[in-house]
């Protein structure tokens, strides 16, 4: 499983919003600057998150983005499922996978299923609130 920049950046943005949630709506420009993400790319990520009701946006003066629910309600798995096409470790376990002709006698399938179950369970057990509490390095000091 390889997580794309879209998935990684979506998590960073949500963590940023969780850490600054008392500030009301946060402008895209501020989030982009803090996270060192291009505004154009960030717009596409935010669009996905707004469309899926993870964020709400407001235009105009004082506008920006904020979480629709508490950071504790968003798991890493839920966010990655919105941003990634597939989180399965092998193609035969992916979304809309065609039935595999070898499934009935594949000696590795149980292992891949268990890996998928473990990673799903692990990612579903971590919330944005958990990640927002993690200590972080000030990259501007480097």
pLDDT tens string 45-102? 999 999 999 999 998 888 899 999 999 999 999 999 999 988 999 988 988 888 888 8
**Residue 23: pLDDT above 80?**
no
Q: In the predicted model, what is the mean pLDDT of the chain? A: 90
DSSP assignment string, 39-71: HHHHHHHHHHHHHTTSEEEE-STT-EEEESS-G
Higher-confidence residue: 30 or 141? Answer: 30
The band of 36, judged by pLDDT with boundaries at 50, 70 and 90, is very high
């Amino acid at each position: 499983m390889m997580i794309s920049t879209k998935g990684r950046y979506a998590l960073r943005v949500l963590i940023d919003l969780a850490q600054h949630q008392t500030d009301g709506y946060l402008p895209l420009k501020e989030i982009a600057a803090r996270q060192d993400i291009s505004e154009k790319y960030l717009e596409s990520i935010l669009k996905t998150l707004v469309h899926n009701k993870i964020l709400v946006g407001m235009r105009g003066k004082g506008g920006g983005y904020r979480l629709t629910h508490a950071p504790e309600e968003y798991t890493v798995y839920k966010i990655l499922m919105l941003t990634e096409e597939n989180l399965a470790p092998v193609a035969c376990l992916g979304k809309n996978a065609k039935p595999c002709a070898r499934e009935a006698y594949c000696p590795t399938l149980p292992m891949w299923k268990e890996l998928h179950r473990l990673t799903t369970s692990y990612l579903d057990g971590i919330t944005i609130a958990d990640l927002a509490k993690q200590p972080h390095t000030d990259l501007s000091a480097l």
